[in-house]
Amino acid sequence: MNPTHPTKSMKPMSSLVPRTFLAPSSLALVALFALGCGSAQADAPEHGGGEPDAVSVQVAQATEGPVAASYTGTGTVRGLNTATLTSRMMGYVRTLDATVGQRVTRGQLLATLDDADPRAGLLQARAGTLEAEAARVQYAQQADAAEADLRLARTTHERIQALAAERAVPQQRADEAAAALRAAEARFAASQSGMNRASSRIAQSQAMVQSARNALEYTRVRAPFDGVVLARPAQVGDLSAPGMPLYILEQDGGRRVEVALPESMVGTVSVGQAVTVRVEAAERVLTGTVGEVSPLVDPAARAFMVKVDLPADALDGVDPGMFARVLFPRPAEVRLTVPRAAVSARASLDRVFVVNDDVAELRLVTLGAAVDDEVAVLSGLSPGETVVVDAPATLRDRDHVEVRP
């Protein structure tokens, strides 16, 4: 019999091979190598042993100088005056007579609310006025009678006093005449007081009538100006309450763009400043004027509001709600620039080829604003370095190049 040997466990080959881990910084080098090489083996021509042919290229230098700067803000086209029409009283919405997009004129009836309660209030106020006027008539009649009694009492009193002075009548008769005069004066004063109270009640009831008329008029919502309906949040049958929006109207006239600018722009924008406005949906480029600059910065958004007025004679096709870009000029800044044609993009990365000792070196760059045919380079290049312009599609990292004049 064959001797029995203990069985040894066999480890998989993968466990015998040491693992290699790439640091994150190495991954960037791998990406750069991939961008430069790509399918270099497939694209590069085969040579029979010697040095490969140099690629003929044109070059330009990275130069440093002042570059006109600007900030592009985004905003929405608005009307110069937008109003939200609300109800001034509670009531059910009975009619809505305008639709979104409809043009309306000042005073046009747009909506009506249920007016049963205001009408009842008006009838009650009118009844109160009639009652007060009837009371005034009664007090007026009483005042006329009291005035007549007062005149008679005065005449009688004067006669009795004259006779009493001559001792023609007893003193008691004179005293009775004086008492009758005082009573007549009191009745006349009371009638005048009643007249005044009746007049006050009439004025009060008339004010109540006017208030009831106003309440009735509040059930009719009218356009405050000529304009267009932007929105109609309410529906027929809704229970409207004071402050509840029924319509949103935009007044006819100019347009403006409202832009929120970062707080770093504070102090760089002033009223009256000319800016460029692009309304892409209308395919329009307009010159706007800064009309308002908010002095307050929103602490949550770290931004402040700027309103740019658009020229009234160039608004064809520019409608409220459209998206707009506004270019605000800024002071010139010293920047490193290269021709736009020197920059190419691959895999969402901007790159240039830098020529050193007739060898093309691929560099990733960070770009800034572009002005005309130049683009600012924020990082990746140094002043005076030579870059390839309109690089051939076959150019790869570390390729030999020949600079043509």
Average pLDDT, the chain: 84
Range 72-80+253-331 classified under CATH 2.40.30.170 = yes
- What pLDDT is stored for residue 118 in this prediction? 86
Q: How far apart are CA 346 and CA 331, in angstroms?
A: 32
Q: Where residue 163 falls among pLDDT bands split at 50, 70, 90?
A: confident
As assigned by CATH, the class of the 82-113+220-249 domain is mainly beta
Burial class (CB in 10 A: 0-12, 13-18, 19+), 99: exposed
pLDDT digits (tens, 9 = 90+) for 338-379: 999 999 998 889 999 999 999 999 999 999 877 778 899 999
User: Quick one: tokens of 128?
Assistant: 């109160």
Q: Per-domain residue ranges for the chain?
A: 72-80+253-331, 82-113+220-249, 116-218
What pLDDT, on a 0 to 100 scale, did the predictor assign at position 50?
53
In this prediction, residues 214-228 reach a mean pLDDT of: 91
- Work out whether the CA dihedral 122, 123, 124, 130 comes out positive or negative: positive
Is the pLDDT reported for residue 128 higher than 90?
no
* Residue 255 to residue 14: CA distance in whole angstroms: 71
At 79, is the pLDDT very low, low, confident or very high (cuts 50, 70, 90)? Answer: confident
**pLDDT tens figures, 269-308:** 999 999 999 998 888 899 999 999 999 999 999 999 999 9
Grade residue 133 by pLDDT with cuts at 50, 70 and 90: confident
Any idea which of 164-173, 210-219, 382-391 has the lowest mean pLDDT? Answer: 164-173
What integer is the mean pLDDT of 378-383? 94
331 neighbors 369 (Cβ within 8 angstroms): no
Residue 202 has pLDDT above 50, yes or no: yes
Residue among 365, 377, 392 at smallest CA distance from 338? 377
Q: Which pLDDT value is given to residue 22? A: 42
- 3-state SS string over the chain? CCCCCCCCCCCCHHHHCCCCCCCHHHHHHHHHHHHHHCCHHHHCCCCCCCCCCCEEEEEEECEEEEEEEEEEEEEEEEECCEEEEEECCCEEEEEECCCCCCEECCCCEEEEECCHHHHHHHHHHHHHHHHHHHHHHHHHHHHHHHHHHHHHHHHHHHHHHHHHHCCCCCHHHHHHHHHHHHHHHHHHHHHHHHHHHHHHHHHHHHHHHHHHHHHHHHCEEECCCCEEEEECCCCCCCEECECCEEEEEEECCCEEEEEEEEHHHCCCCCCCCEEEEEECCCCEEEEEEEEEECCCCECCCCEEEEEEECCHHHCCCCCCCCEEEEEEEEEEEEEEEEEHHHCEEECCEEEEEEEECCEEEEEECEEEEEECCEEEEEECCCCCCEEEECCCCCCCCCCEEEECC
The model's pTM is: 0.49
pLDDT of residue 6: 42
pLDDT at 252: 82
CA pair distance 135, 169, nearest whole angstrom: 43
Which amino acid is residue 306, in one-letter code? V
Residue whose structure tokens are 């430069």: 36
Q: Decide: 127 and 135 in contact? Cβ < 8 Å.
A: no
pLDDT range class, residue 51, cuts 50, 70, 90: low
